[in-house]
Amino acid sequence: MRAALRSGRGGLSQAQWPDCSIPCYLGVLPAALETAVTAEMDSRNNRMIDLALAQDGFADAIGALQQQLDPGRLGLVMGTSTSSIDRTESGYRSLDAAGRFTSPFIQPRVHSPHAPGDFVAERLGIDGPCMTVSAACASSAKVFATAKRWLDQDLVDAVVVGGADSICLSIIYGFHSLQLVSPDPCRPFSPDRTGISLGEAAGFALLTRNDNATGIRLSGAGESCDAYHMSSAHPEGLGARLSIERALKDAGLATTDIDYVNLHGTGTRANDEIEGKVCAMFNNSRTVLSATKGWTGHTLGAAGIVEAVIAMDALCTGLLPGTMNTRQSEAPFHLLLDNLERPTRHVLSNSFGFGGNNCSLVFSVA
């Protein structure tokens, strides 16, 4: 990801999804098909998770950490929106003559909202508290907030957090039915934006309680649920504003302390307009903002972890990613169109989902 951001290489393509006739651009992860999991737990989502756990030696690092902790003191919080519904779709397309799942698809642990958490706990041998959060597109941002509470309450000494969502026909046709899928690569905050581009991803991070640690820390988390509408945000963005304000308060920071904001920035008319109203609070000489879904597509339940990692990487490298595909902005703040490099100390990442689920995270250099 870091190399792709630096070189300006996006992940959207016009490759057609099997059995799908909707014209759209997708952020597809073909490498997910190259991994293998047990037949009992096999699904595209779990294959992506397995691939993500192998990146950067993450699974090995968790194994080493477990040697230092008491059993049960390592927790897990996974975020997902659709879980392994891709596998369930395949099962329904392969029913036998009696209308029942054929044997490869009789997988009770896969056809479950908790499938990602169950799979990761087994894969990493985690015996501590395990939770799967399904809160639409805020799911894998909320995992950080949950983990922070667990650590603050001394329930655990460390928490693996992650998120995963794979592309499936349900999400493509579902978002198309809401007239939200763009036939072109998404252009967040562009005057001529036409909707979202969908993507898939899996990612992980580790949170520990160590006040003397150097590096990156989760300095603030804010959540809200405005419950204004099943699929539309409050027109004034009241829930989104509240989550940002709570995250800043939790971190003890003001808007002018934030160097970079990773916007939810889906590229739909309504979302960008509402988020623009809310994030006008960051219209100052210090803060730059960008939306990165033009690079990855909207990865739904994995968007929170993907964009949190992008925000944290900005703290590590000083590389602030531009808003890919957007050449003109109508945002009421400094929307970064092209990559920028500069020292960064505090970043904020927004994730706003259906049902009024909102989460904002502040990461800081310790």
Token digits for 245?
A: 């304000």
Instruction: List, by residue number, the catalytic residues.
Output: 137, 264, 298
- Give the H/E segment covering residue 223: strand 216-225
Q: What is the CA radius of gyration of the chain?
A: 20
Please provide residue 212's backbone torsions phi and psi, each rounded to the nearest 5 degrees: -95, 5
Opening angle at CA 266, ends 265 and 269, nearest 5? 100
Q: Check if the beta carbon of residue 326 is closer than 8 Å to that of residue 187.
A: yes
Q: Which of 281, 361, 247, 366 is nearest to 315 (CA)?
A: 366
Distance from C-alpha of 75 to C-alpha of 81, rounded to nearest angstrom: 20
Q: Which amino acid is at 180?
A: L
DSSP character at residue 282? G
Give the E-state strand segments of 233-356 in sequence order: 260-263, 288-291, 319-320, 340-341, 346-353
Cα separation, 95 vs 87, in Å, equals 13
Phi, psi of 223 (to 5 degrees): -130, 155
Which residues neighbour 128 within 8 Å (Cβ) at sequence distance 6 or greater? 71, 72, 73, 74, 75, 76, 156
Q: At what angle do helices 139-152 and 303-317 cross, to 10 degrees?
A: 70
What's the rounded Cα separation, in Å, for the pair 349 and 272?
15
Other CB atoms within a 10 A radius of the CB of residue 116 amount to 32
